[in-house]
Structure 1
Amino acid sequence: MNAGHADHRRLGRELGLFDTDPLIGAGLPYWLPAGAAVRHALEEYVREAERRAGYRHVHSPVLGKRELYEISGHWSHYGEDMFPPMRVGGEEFVLRPSLCPHHAVMFRSRARSYRELPLRMAELGGMFRSELSGVLGGLTRVRAIQLNDAHIFCTLDQVAEEAAAALELIRRAHAAMGIVPVRHRLSLPGPGGKYVADPGKWERSIALLREVLDASGLAYEEAEGEAAFYGPKIDVQIADPAGRESTLSTVQIDFHQPERFGLEYIGPDGARHRPVMIHRSVVGSVERAVAHLVEHHAGAFPAWLAPVQLAVLPVSDAEYGAAARLVERGTALGLRAEVVGPGHGTLGARVRSARLVPYQAVVGAREAAAGEVSVRLRDGRRLDPLPAGELPARIAGLVRAHTTALWD
C-alpha cells in the first residue's frame, strides 16, 4: 500500500472521522460521529483491560498551578513545550503537559501502607502541548491530547514484575488492534541539560528496564537522547506506510518525582519509605493511536473498532421493516448498526458504499419471509443464510472478544 493512499489525514476526511476549522485552530481537530465511535471503542477497551489488570481509575483537572510543575520538574525541563501561564486572582495556572504530577499529589493525599502497593492509578485524561503551527498535522501532532496514562506506585522489589505486566498489557492491546510494532527501544539520556542530574537514579532505572526487557525475550535497541527528562523508558515503536517511525506505547521508571513530591508509604518495619513510580501508557494518545489505525487498516478497522459494525440492506422498501427490526436487535446488543435503505441507491451501489463495514446483511423478499438474512463479510466471503435473530448475537460475541477475525 503506498503512503499517499493510506494518509490518515485524507482518509479521515473521506471517511468522516475528523476535521479541523480555522475558528477552532490548528492542531485542534474535532471528531465527527464515525471518528468518535472509533475512539470511544478504543477508550472502552483500554479502561476494561486496565480494570481487569487491577488498575483504579481516577479523574483530575487539566489545569494546575505553576508551582505544581515547578515541583515536578516540568517547568524547568519541559517549559518550552508548555502553554504560557494564565493569571487568575494573583495566581498562575497552567494547562498541564502531563498527568503524572496530579497523580503524585493524589497518592500523597493520605497516608499509605505497603499493603496498598502496588497501587495502580489510571486515567484517560487531557493534556496540552504548545506545538508550533508548522509541525502540526492531522491527529499525529496536535495541541490537545487525550492520553491513556497510568502510574504505578510500588516498592523497589515490585518494579520488574509491574513493568513486565505493563508490557504484556501493551502486547495484548496491540494484538486486538491488529498492530505489529516495528521495534522496542530502550530510551536513554543523552548529552545536554535536558535531563535531571542524578546519575545514581539513572543507573538504577536503566538496569531495571534492561532486566525487564531481557526477561521478556523481546529484541530491543538502545537509543541515547530519547529518555524522558526524569528517567529512561521502554518505547514501543510503530511506523506509518511511508516508514516514518513514532512511539505509541511506553513504560517508564521514575525515582525523581516521588522524591520531589515527598511520596512515602509505611513499610512492614513501621518506617517511612519512598515508593518508585512507573509511568505506563498502553495505547499512548488516543489521537496518535487512531491515526495509526486508520493508516494501518486503510479504514477497514477490526469489527470491534469499526464506526458501523453491521449494515442491513433491504432490497426494496417492502423489506425495510424487517431490516429495521434486525438493526434494533443489534443495537440492543451494543452493536453500531444501521439500515442502508433503497433511498441510498441500487443494491449494488449500497454494497459498495458499505464496503468498509465488517458485516452486511441483505434482506430480500425470500429472506424476509423465512426470517433469515444473507450475510456478506467485508473480505468478500458470503455466508449461508442465517436466522435473523442469530446474526446480531454472533457478531456481538466476536466484538466482545476483541478479535481481528471477522468470523469463527
Structure 2
Amino acid sequence: MADHRRLGRELELFDTDPLIGAGLPYWLPDGAAVRHALEEYVREAERRAGYRHVYSPVLGKRELYEISGHWSHYSEDMFPPMEVGGEEFVLRPSLCPHHAVMFRSRAHSYRELPLRMAELGGMFRSELSGVLGGLTRVRAIQLNDAHIFCTLDQVAEEAAAALELIRRAHAAMGIVPVRHRLSLPGPGGKYVAAPEKWERSIALLREVLDASGLDYEEAEGEAAFYGPKIDVQVADPAGRESTLSTVQIDFHQPERFDLKYIGPDGAKHRPVMIHRSVVGSVERAVAHLVEHHAGAFPGWLAPVQLAVLPVSDAESGAAARLVERCAALGLRAEAAGPGDGTLGARIRAARLVPYQVVIGAREAAAGQLSVRLRDGRRLDPLPEGELLDRIAGLVAAHSTELWD
C-alpha cells in the first residue's frame, strides 16, 4: 500500500528534522519541483478565470481575528499571541481576514463585481503532536485560497464556476473524488449564531449542487464556523477520507468587516464573500498525489520528466546538450551516464520518470532519439526536435497521457 510518508522519503521529495520541529516538513529539490508545477498550474488556471493575485502577511494583530470571529471560535487551533511593542500579533490560521481588509481598503462599484482575489499563502495551525503526520497534518500550511466578493445575484454562478475549476484541476492531476459533501453546522456553540444567514447560504449551496448534477451527501457538524461549504472528498489507499477542495459562502465576515460596494442606485450595499480552494493545501494535495500515483506522477508534475541515458561515455556530450535543450523548453531533464551503472540499472533507477531517452552511437550520429515510456512502450526513433516538441506539448496541456 502506497504511503506518502514512506514514498516521499524514498523518492527524496520531503523530510523532517527534530531541530526544525514536528509538523514542519521541508521540501527537497524533487518535491519542490512537484510543488512548483502544481502552484504554477493553479495560478495560471485562476488567472484565466479572472482572478487577481495578491500577497498578504502571515501575521496579524489579535484584533483582526477578534473581528473576523476566529479568536472566539477557533483560538484553540491558533498559535498563542506574540507581544511586540505592546501589541499582540498572531500567526494567521486563515487568509480570509486579510483579504476582507484588502477589499475594504478601496471603494468599489457594483461594476467591479465579482472581484476575485487569489493567493497562495502561508497559514498556521497549532496541531497537537499526536495528530501530525507526513504532509497531511502539518503546522505550517501553504494554501491555495481565494475569495470572491460579489452581489447576491452572482453567488450561484460564481460558486458553480469554482466547482468547474476544481473539476478541471482534478482531471489534470489524474485524481477522482470519492464524493461531494454539503457540510452543515451542528449543535453547540462552535458556529456563528445567525440562523437567517445560515439558511440563506445553505439554500444557495444546495442550488449550486443540484444544478451541477453532482451526487452529494449532507453532513452536520462539518461546516466552517462562519458558513456552510461544499467539500470535495478524496480517499487514501486505506480508504481514509480527507477534504481536498472547498467552496464556501460567507455572509458573516462581510458584516463583521463592514464591507460595502456602491450599487446602481448610488447606495451602499453589502457584498457576499465566497471562499474557495481549487487544490486545498499544497501539502495535502502532494501527499494525495504521491499515494494515488505511487510516485508515478503525470508528466507535467513529474520531478524529472526526461531521463537522458547515454550508452557510453562517447555520447555524454550529446546527452548534456539534450538536457540543456530540454531546460530551454521548460522541461525537467537529468542525464545519468555509465558512471551511474549499467544501462539496465539506469533504466530501472528511472522507472518512475515518464520518458527515458537512450542515446547510443547510432542515435547521436543520426540526430534521432530512442525513447522508452514509463508504461513500458518503446517508440520508434524520432528526430530530436519532433520528440521534444511533442513532450513539451503534452506537458503544457497538463495531459495525464504519456503519448498521443
Q: If the TM-score is normalised by the length of the shorter chain, which range does it land in?
A: over 0.9
Whether the 8 Å contact between 1:8 and 1:138 is mirrored in structure 2 is yes
Deviations 1:254-296 (A, max 9, x none): 0000000000000000000000000000000000000000000
SS at match of 1:385: strand
Whether the 8 Å contact between 1:326 and 1:389 is mirrored in structure 2 is no
Separation in 1, partners of 2:384, 2:52: 40
Deviations 1:213-241 (A, max 9, x none): 00000000000000000000000000000
Deviations 1:25-62 (A, max 9, x none): 00000000000000000000000000000000000000
Return the offset for 1:380. 0.3
Separation in 2, partners of 1:222, 1:183: 11
SS at match of 1:376: strand
Separation in 1, partners of 2:324, 2:386: 13
Separation in 1, partners of 2:300, 2:378: 20
Deviations 1:102-143 (A, max 9, x none): 000000001110000000000000000000111101000000
Matched, 1:244 2:235: no
Deviations 1:159-189 (A, max 9, x none): 0000000000000000000010000000000
SS at match of 2:323: helix
SS at match of 1:283: coil
Matches within 5 A, 1:330-369: 330-369=326-365
Separation in 1, partners of 2:372, 2:196: 61
Return the offset for 1:11. 0.0
Q: Which residue of 1 aligns with 2:382?
A: 386
Runs (4+) off by over 6 Å: none
Separation in 2, partners of 1:261, 1:369: 69
Deviations 1:341-375 (A, max 9, x none): 11110000000000000000000011111111100
Whether the 8 Å contact between 1:17 and 1:32 is mirrored in structure 2 is yes
SS at match of 2:116: strand
Matched, 1:326 2:289: no
Separation in 1, partners of 2:3, 2:394: 28
Return the offset for 1:393. 1.4
Return the offset for 1:388. 1.7
Whether the 8 Å contact between 1:150 and 1:281 is mirrored in structure 2 is yes
> Normalising to structure 1: TM-score of the pair?
0.98
Q: Which residue of 2 aligns with 1:176?
A: 172
> Normalising to structure 2: TM-score of the pair?
0.99
Return the offset for 1:244. 0.2
Equivalent of residue 48 in structure 2, options 39, 46, 52? 52
Deviations 1:293-343 (A, max 9, x none): 000000000000000001110000001111111111111000001111111
Separation in 1, partners of 2:162, 2:101: 22
Whether the 8 Å contact between 1:54 and 1:120 is mirrored in structure 2 is yes
Separation in 2, partners of 1:323, 1:398: 22
SS at match of 2:43: helix
Q: Which residue of 2 aligns with 1:63?
A: 59
Q: Which residue of 1 aligns with 2:89?
A: 93
Return the offset for 1:144. 0.1
SS at match of 2:219: strand
Separation in 1, partners of 2:68, 2:385: 56
Separation in 1, partners of 2:345, 2:104: 60
Separation in 1, partners of 2:389, 2:18: 44
SS at match of 2:55: coil
Separation in 1, partners of 2:102, 2:294: 41
Between 83-92 and 381-390, the greater mean CA deviation after superposition: 381-390
Return the offset for 1:391. 1.7
Q: Which residue of 1 aligns with 2:249?
A: 253
Separation in 2, partners of 1:51, 1:190: 36
Matched, 1:274 2:265: no
Whether the 8 Å contact between 1:145 and 1:285 is mirrored in structure 2 is yes
Equivalent of residue 151 in structure 2, options 126, 139, 155? 155
Percent identical among aligned pairs is: 92
Return the offset for 1:390. 2.0
* Gaps in structure 1 of 5+ consecutive residues: 1-5
Return the offset for 1:243. 0.2
Separation in 2, partners of 1:359, 1:167: 33
RMSD of Structure 2 on Structure 1 (CA): 0.4
Whether the 8 Å contact between 1:153 and 1:275 is mirrored in structure 2 is yes
Separation in 2, partners of 1:236, 1:86: 35
Matched, 1:133 2:133: no
SS at match of 2:322: helix
Separation in 2, partners of 1:182, 1:388: 41
Return the offset for 1:389. 2.3
Separation in 2, partners of 1:248, 1:39: 15
Separation in 1, partners of 2:360, 2:332: 22
Matched, 1:263 2:259: yes
SS at match of 1:78: helix
Separation in 1, partners of 2:362, 2:370: 10
Whether the 8 Å contact between 1:41 and 1:304 is mirrored in structure 2 is yes
SS at match of 1:191: coil
Separation in 2, partners of 1:178, 1:301: 9
Separation in 2, partners of 1:338, 1:9: 25
Separation in 2, partners of 1:371, 1:188: 61
SS at match of 1:157: helix
